[in-house]
């Protein structure tokens, strides 16, 4: 038995519904592959904030540092400003644990209809810089509430930060179909983005087997819709990657499916696995949330832990449910509940394991 200590943070809204669903699936696959997941649930959330004035305790990062990995649902709820929930929990975790790669697969699974007409095979990965860039605390607001009010927001791009995420993306492209696209905007953003481009080109010399291309973010967004089949790996800054991956989730059928891994590739710290979606207050409590994004994030966690076979079994079950059964949630055009999809997944998983 390989045992892992996993901290779960279900968070808010549908996070508290899809995390237990995914845990059930991971438990089942774990039992079949000799993986023991020792879960510790942390109640950190907007509700916790309402009670304590903090999204997590003062020693929250220290607490998390004692775990092997972190499995997160979503945080954010009406009544707490989104920048408070994000900067009080998610961003500190991503930064303290140097989770500088945010890996977001954009794969059209069998049985799902994309909103795009004439859909090619869609199978690429966005590597989003996750520790710096446009999401920075540098800046401020002056003369609040007056006619002279000024807001300044600085971006931070460091050579170390840009090189490490790009190296990861180059290596990933090298292990896939050998094509890497960079998201830039060096026509309009004249300091950070030309720097981003310089590093991208410097590293190309170290990776002669990888074919590179560069796109301005606006044109790149259009190509995600018009010709997504051309992409293999896309590397993007924190903000650009964030926006591109909601678009990526849309073209693969639903934000309810898309997964996300916040990786510390060196393994010096825990990594964190979560769906791309948020807490969806509009459907929270109805039992209709799609659990597949959380389940897929769980498969990425198994893969990161070195259990590619177990991860494949989970994804095999997901594909089976989507392609061979009509059991799906409303975001995918079905009528099933979170529970019904989870039950179907467990059945498919048993079948998947038996077939191996």
Q: x/- binding map, residues 70-89, to ligand NAI, per CB under 6 A?
A: ----xxxx----x-------
Position with the least CB separation from Mg ion: 242
Smaller CB separation from Mg ion, 119 or 251: 251
Q: Which 236-265 residues touch Mg ion, going by CB under 5 A?
A: 242
17 makes contact, choosing from ligand NAI, Mg ion, none, with CB < 5 to 8 Å by partner type, with none
Contact pick of 289, 295, 300, 346 for ligand NAI (by CB under 6 A): 289
Binding-site size for Mg ion (CB under 5 A) equals 1
76 makes contact, choosing from Mg ion, ligand NAI, none, with CB < 5 to 8 Å by partner type, with ligand NAI
Contact pick of 59, 118, 148, 282 for ligand NAI (by CB under 6 A): 282
295 makes contact, choosing from ligand NAI, Mg ion, none, with CB < 5 to 8 Å by partner type, with none
Q: Is 161 in the site for ligand NAI (CB under 6 A)?
A: no
Q: How far is the CB of 343 from ligand NAI (least distance, A)?
A: 17
Binding-site size for ligand NAI (CB under 6 A) equals 23
Q: What's the rounded Cα separation, in Å, for the pair 16 and 24?
A: 13
Q: x/- binding map, residues 250-279, to ligand NAI, per CB under 6 A?
A: -----xx-----------------x--xxx
242 makes contact, choosing from ligand NAI, Mg ion, none, with CB < 5 to 8 Å by partner type, with Mg ion
Smaller CB separation from Mg ion, 198 or 246: 246
Smaller CB separation from Mg ion, 20 or 248: 248
Q: How far is the CB of 250 from ligand NAI (least distance, A)?
A: 10
Q: How far is the CB of 128 from ligand NAI (least distance, A)?
A: 12
Q: Which two tokens stand for residue 195?
A: 């720097």
Q: Which 7-36 residues touch ligand NAI, going by CB under 6 A?
A: 14, 18
271 makes contact, choosing from Mg ion, ligand NAI, none, with CB < 5 to 8 Å by partner type, with none
User: Which residues are paired to 126 by β-bridges?
Assistant: 104, 234
Q: Is 274 in the site for Mg ion (CB under 5 A)?
A: no
The torsion of the CA quartet 352, 252, 264, 97, rounded to 10 degrees, works out to -110
What count of other Cβ atoms lies within 10 Å of the Cβ of residue 153? Answer: 12
Q: Is 287 in the site for ligand NAI (CB under 6 A)?
A: no
Q: Is 183 in the site for ligand NAI (CB under 6 A)?
A: no
What secondary structure, in 3-state letters, does the chain show? Answer: CEEEEEEEEEECCCHHHHHHHHHHHHHHHHHHHCEEEEEEECCCCHHHHHHHCCCCCCCHHHHHHCCCEEEEEECCCCCCCHHHHHHHHHHHHHHHCCCCEEEEEEECCCCCCCCCCCCCCCEEEEEEECCCECCCCCEEEECCCCCCCEEEECCECCHHHHHHHHHHHHHHHHHCCCEEEEEECCCCCCCHHHHHHHHHHHHHCCCCCCEEEEEEHHHHHHHHHHCHHHCCEEEECHHHHHHHHHHHHHHCCCCCCCEEEEECCCCCCCEEEEECCCCCCCCCCCCCCCCHHHHHHHHHHHHHCCCHHHHHHHHHHHHHHHHHCCCCCHHHCCCCCHHHHHHHHHHHHHHHHHCC
Q: Is 55 in the site for ligand NAI (CB under 6 A)?
A: no
Provide the binding-site residues for ligand NAI, judged by CB under 6 A.
14, 18, 74-77, 82, 90, 255-256, 274, 277-283, 289-290, 293, 329, 331
């Amino acid at each position: 038995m390989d045992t892992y200590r996993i901290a779960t943070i279900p968070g808010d809204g549908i996070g508290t519904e899809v995390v237990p669903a995914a845990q059930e699936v991971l438990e089942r696959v774990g039992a079949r592959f000799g993986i023991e997941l020792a879960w510790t649930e942390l109640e950190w959330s907007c509700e916790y904030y309402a009670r304590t004035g903090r999204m997590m305790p003062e020693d929250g990062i220290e607490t998390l540092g004692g775990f092997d990995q972190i499995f997160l649902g979503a945080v954010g709820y009406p009544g707490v400003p989104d920048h408070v929930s994000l900067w009080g929990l998610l961003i500190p975790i991503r930064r303290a644990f140097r989770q500088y790669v945010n890996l977001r697969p954009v794969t059209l699974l069998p049985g799902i209809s994309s909103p795009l007409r004439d859909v090619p095979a869609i199978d690429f990965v966005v590597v989003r810089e996750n520790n710096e860039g446009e999401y920075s605390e540098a800046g401020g607001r002056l003369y609040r509430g007056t006619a002279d009010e000024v807001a300044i927001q600085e971006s931070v791009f460091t050579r170390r930060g840009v090189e490490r995420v790009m190296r990861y993306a180059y290596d990933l492209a090298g292990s896939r179909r050998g094509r890497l696209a960079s998201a830039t905007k060096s026509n309009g953003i004249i300091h950070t983005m030309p720097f981003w481009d310089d590093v991208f080109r410097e590293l190309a010399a170290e990776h002669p087997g990888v074919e590179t291309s560069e796109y301005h973010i606006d044109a790149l967004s259009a190509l995600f819709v018009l010709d997504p089949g051309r992409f293999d790996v896309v590397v993007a800054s924190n903000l650009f990657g964030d926006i591109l991956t909601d678009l990526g989730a849309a073209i693969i059928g639903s934000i309810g499916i898309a997964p996300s891994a916040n990786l510390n590739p060196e393994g010096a710290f825990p990594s964190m696995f979560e769906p791309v979606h948020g807490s969806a207050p509009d459907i929270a409590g109805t039992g209709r949330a799609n659990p597949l994004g959380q389940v897929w994030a769980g498969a990425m966690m198994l893969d990161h832990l070195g259990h590619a076979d177990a991860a494949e079994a989970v994804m095999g079950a997901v594909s089976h449910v989507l392609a061979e059964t009509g059991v799906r949630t409303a975001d995918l055009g079905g009528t099933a509940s979170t529970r019904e999809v989870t039950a179907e997944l467990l059945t498919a998983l048993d079948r998947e394991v038996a077939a191996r």
